[in-house]
Structure 1
Amino acid sequence: MRIAFFVNSIEGEASYFTTTSLAIAAMARGHDICYVTPDGFVLRPDDSLSVRAIIPGVGKPKNADAFIATLNEKTSTKTIDVVDVDVLFLRNDPSLDADERPWAAHVGAMFGRLAVERGVIAVNDPDALAKAQNKLYFQDFPEVIRPTTLISKSLDEIRAFIDSQKRGVVLKPLQGSGGRHVFKIKSSKESNLNQIFEAVSGEGYLIAQGYLPDAVEGDIRLFLMNGRPLEKDGSYAAFRRVPAKGEVRSNISAAGTAAAVKVTPEILEVAEIVRPKLVADGMFLVGLDIIGSKILEINVFTPGGLQNIERLYGVDFSSVVIEALEKKVSTRANYGSRLSNAVLATL
């Protein structure tokens, strides 16, 4: 099986990324892997689609650091017809390209569709990813699992919403990731509200969410695969992201730390509520950020933290993900195009 990982850039990859764990797990299971970046697709006059695949130059790496060193220093580039790719794993973060390379932000979904038309399995399903380019996608899920939310560019609307929330609000851009430009606002009378508004609204629309008191302990990142909690040997792929002292953000990229967590029936119920839509949309691998009985975000592009979870519990969840892809490739071989990509992605 050949898996092509679509990422923002090679130099932006890191040893602690979930993509790295998945790539190493695939190699350990005997599969060929390559990376593709936004400038790596070629659609020719004969309607054939190729990828300029970046291929690590050595065999199975000793560890993640060695793999990333190889990826940056000892790679070769090979043009491959996309029909020779079994799985296109779309693992880019559109928000990272939105400002400086807007042309690149939606390339994965666009060319992912073309790859699917040529028989490639693309996960997560590119049609659904095209609809999930920002946090508005979250508003399509049941209200019972969403915090009270306002989306607007009007400071007057946001002030009024803050006044309606006794515990304050969390303000963040509609498009963004990694905890960038996330602020907790206690009162509409805060002296720096105008400055915060200017900083965040420069990126477009804003989301104001009613603050959840349990957030002081951080949130819980739970991985779902094929619409259900990712699990192996009785352990769930979940951990608590604990914010640094004085921080409202619990993102690992914002100095948050990882801690073990017990997955409760309440958490599983939250996951079950979102399952039907994730399955219908062909969302193969997803990260839920949960506080209490509410979900703050659903990460469908680059859910991270799998390495943290594997270290905490000593469980190889990455291999479980690759094994699931193997089954999809086998199913595609048996059924051909009779199953849509969206169905196959979560089967």
Structure 2
Amino acid sequence: MNIAFLINQTHKEEPAFTTTVLALKAHKRGHTIFYIGLADFTYHNEHNIGAHCRVVDPSENIENQEQFLEKVRNKEKQYIDASQMDVLWLRYDPVLDMINRPWASPTALQFAQLIKRQGTWVINDPDKLVEATNKLYLEYFPKQIRPKTMITRSYQDVVDFLEKQDHQIILKPLTGSGGKNVFLVKKDERHNLKQTVEVITRDGYLLAQEYLPEAANGDIRFFLLDGDPVIIDGKYASVNRIQKKGDIRSNIHQGGSAEPADINDTILATVSQVTEKLKEDGMYFVGLDIVGDKIMEINVFSPGGLNLASTLNNVDYFNLVLDHIEKRVAERM
């Protein structure tokens, strides 16, 4: 199987990334790996679309993730026609290029749509990813699993929303990731509110959400594969992400810590209300961020943390995912 991973840029990848582990394990299973950057596509005509890829052949001896990335980065790019790609897996973060290369993400998504029309299986479905390029995607799902939310660029709208909540709200960019520019605003501590709104709206819309008290215990990253929870031996692929003291963000690379998640009936009931639509939308591999009985975000571009989930639960979720992909590709042939 030839599996292509679409990333932002190779120098931005890290050994612990979910993408790196997936690619290495696929390589060790005898598959050819293509790494494609957002700027690597080429359109010749409607029958000839491809990309300048860094190719890792199955015969190459690679021991670990560090060695794998070093090997990828040292590769000379070679043109690969999309017809040679059995799978194109979109594993990039649109936010990373939003400022310096605003053209990169939307253009790459259009290329992915064209490649899908040629018959390549694209994960996740690029036609639906157009609807899911920011946190507004959550609003397509049942109201009962969503926190109270408002999206605006108006300072007065934020003030009015704050007045309607109990004590405090969360403010963050509508198009954002990694916990950047996320703020907790309390009703009785709003002296910097106007400046906070200005900081967030400088690059687009702002998203305001009610603060959920359960967030004090962090959030849970919960993985779905083809609409179903990822589970091995009764252990769900999930991570309880705990924020460091004095911080509201539970993102691991913002200083948060991780521990095994307690997946109870409430969480499973919440998850069950979004699985059908995600499957219908072709959202094959998804990470849900859950607080209490609410889903805070649906991560559909490059959900990370599967490595942590495997380590904490002492099971290998990556091979389960790859088993499923191999079966789907075989069925498509």
User: TM-score category by the smaller chain?
Assistant: over 0.9
CA distance in 2, matches of 1:46, 1:142: 39
Q: Residue in 2 aligned with 1:157?
A: 157
Question: What do residues 321-345 of structure 1 show as CA deviations (whole Å, max 9, x unaligned)?
Answer: 1111111111111xxxxxxxxxxxx
Q: Residue in 1 aligned with 2:71?
A: 70
CA distance in 2, matches of 1:183, 1:249: 9
Percent of matched pairs sharing the same residue:
41
CA distance in 1, matches of 2:255, 2:101: 27
Q: Do structure 1's residue 27 and structure 2's residue 36 form an aligned pair?
A: no
Q: Do structure 1's residue 234 and structure 2's residue 261 form an aligned pair?
A: no
* Residues matched between the structures, number: 332
Q: Residue in 1 aligned with 2:294?
A: 294
Q: Is the 8 A contact 1:159 1:188 kept in 2?
A: no
What are the residue-to-residue correspondences of 1:161-310 with 2, within 5 Å? 161-187=161-187, 190-310=190-310
Q: Residue in 1 aligned with 2:13?
A: 13
CA distance in 2, matches of 1:36, 1:188: 49
Equivalent residue of 2:9, what SS? coil
5+ long unaligned stretches in structure 2 = none
Question: What do residues 187-223 of structure 1 show as CA deviations (whole Å, max 9, x unaligned)?
Answer: 1751111111111010211110000001111000000
Question: What do residues 27-80 of structure 1 show as CA deviations (whole Å, max 9, x unaligned)?
Answer: 1211111100111111114631121111247724222222222222x3231111
Q: Is the 8 A contact 1:108 1:126 kept in 2?
A: no
Equivalent residue of 2:133, what SS? coil
Question: What do residues 279-328 of structure 1 show as CA deviations (whole Å, max 9, x unaligned)?
Answer: 11000000000011001100000100011111112211111111111111
Deviation beyond 6 Å, 4+ runs, structure 1: none
Report the CA distance between 1:230 and its aligned residue.
Answer: 0.7
Report the CA distance between 1:234 and its aligned residue.
Answer: 2.1
Q: Is the 8 A contact 2:173 2:182 kept in 1?
A: yes
Report the CA distance between 1:170 and its aligned residue.
Answer: 0.3
Q: Is the 8 A contact 2:41 2:108 kept in 1?
A: no
TM-score by length of 2: 0.97
Equivalent residue of 2:216, what SS? helix
Q: Is the 8 A contact 1:90 1:108 kept in 2?
A: no
Q: Is the 8 A contact 1:310 1:316 kept in 2?
A: yes
TM-score by length of 1: 0.93
Report the CA distance between 1:126 and its aligned residue.
Answer: 0.4
Letter aligned with residue 61 of structure 1:
I
CA distance in 1, matches of 2:62, 2:263: 33
The CA RMSD measured in Å over matched residues stands at 1.3
Q: Is the 8 A contact 1:3 1:85 kept in 2?
A: yes
5+ long unaligned stretches in structure 1 = 334-347
CA gap of 1:152–1:21, structure 2 versus 1, over 3 A, is: same
CA distance in 2, matches of 1:68, 1:243: 29
Question: What do residues 253-288 of structure 1 show as CA deviations (whole Å, max 9, x unaligned)?
Answer: 211111111211111111110011101100000000
CA distance in 2, matches of 1:327, 1:112: 22
Letter aligned with residue 62 of structure 1:
E
Letter aligned with residue 63 of structure 1:
N
Q: Is the 8 A contact 1:223 1:288 kept in 2?
A: yes
Question: What do residues 91-125 of structure 1 show as CA deviations (whole Å, max 9, x unaligned)?
Answer: 11111111110110213321111111111000000
